[in-house]
Structures are given as C-alpha cells and as structure tokens.
Amino acid sequence: MVVGSCGTNARADAAEKVTREKRELLQPYKKELLGLMAEADQQELRWHLAAMVPRLLLTAKERQIAASSLNKYLVDRSSIVRTFALQGLADLAENDADMRAAVMELLREAMRTGTAAMKARGRKLLLRLERL
C-alpha cells in the first residue's frame, strides 16, 4: 500500500476503506501521509487524508502537525473536506486532552455556522467528546 507516493484518489479511497479496520497498515507511511496532508490540494485526497491520519499512532508533535493541516482544511471550499476535517480533529482530540477544549469549541462553531452536514457531524462529535 503506497498511498503517500502515488497521490491518486482511487488509491487513497481504497486505503481509507481498508484501514478503517486495519489501521496498522498505515503506520509505515506515517511520515509520507503527514507530508501529503500538508501539500494536498485535491478535495478527494484531502478528505481521505483527514480520515486516515488520525488513525495513526502519533507523537504529540505529529498530532500538532496533523491538527494544523486539519485546521487549514476547515476553510476549504468543499463542505465534505470541512466536515472530514472536523471528524479528524475530534478523532485526534479523543486521545489528546490538551487539544480537546479547542476542538470542542470548533465543533460548537460548526454547529452554529456550518453546513447541514457539519452541524449534524458537529453534534455527534461534541457528544462523544463531552463523554470523555
């Protein structure tokens, strides 16, 4: 599975689906995925990366790098990318108490001003984070 170097949407789609159950397959490509996340400009690739990168075992510094990219995705012109960015940030915050409050505030803002999909996802994610 060489997602980081191929850059194609079909491979990113396949990798995202496979790693829902087998996240360990992503780990050897962590550095490439984090780099690609910062560089990707295609919306399909961005939303797949937003879903996959939070599945990685990340150091605190790597979580910050991923969160930075996801925060940039929040202003993407694509509603799907913005929604997946919210999901990715919530997934990261689930394992990082230091970023949880800021992500919860982003979710509240999305529930006030986002698209219908962002509002619905924001409600679900906020409930999940509030239970931690």
* pLDDT tens profile 17-74: 888 899 999 999 999 999 999 999 999 999 999 999 999 999 999 999 999 999 999 9
- In the CATH hierarchy, which top-level class contains the domain 3-130? mainly alpha
73: nearest Cα among 86, 63, 64: 86
What is residue 3's predicted lDDT score, i.e. its pLDDT? 45
Q: Residue ranges per domain, the chain?
A: 3-130
Tell me the pLDDT of the chain averaged across its residues. Answer: 92
pTM (whole model) above 0.85: yes
Q: Looking at residue 12, what is its pLDDT? A: 80
Q: How confident is the model at residue 8 (pLDDT cuts 50, 70, 90)?
A: low
Distance, in Å, from the CA atom of 113 to the CA atom of 76, rounded to the nearest integer, reads 15
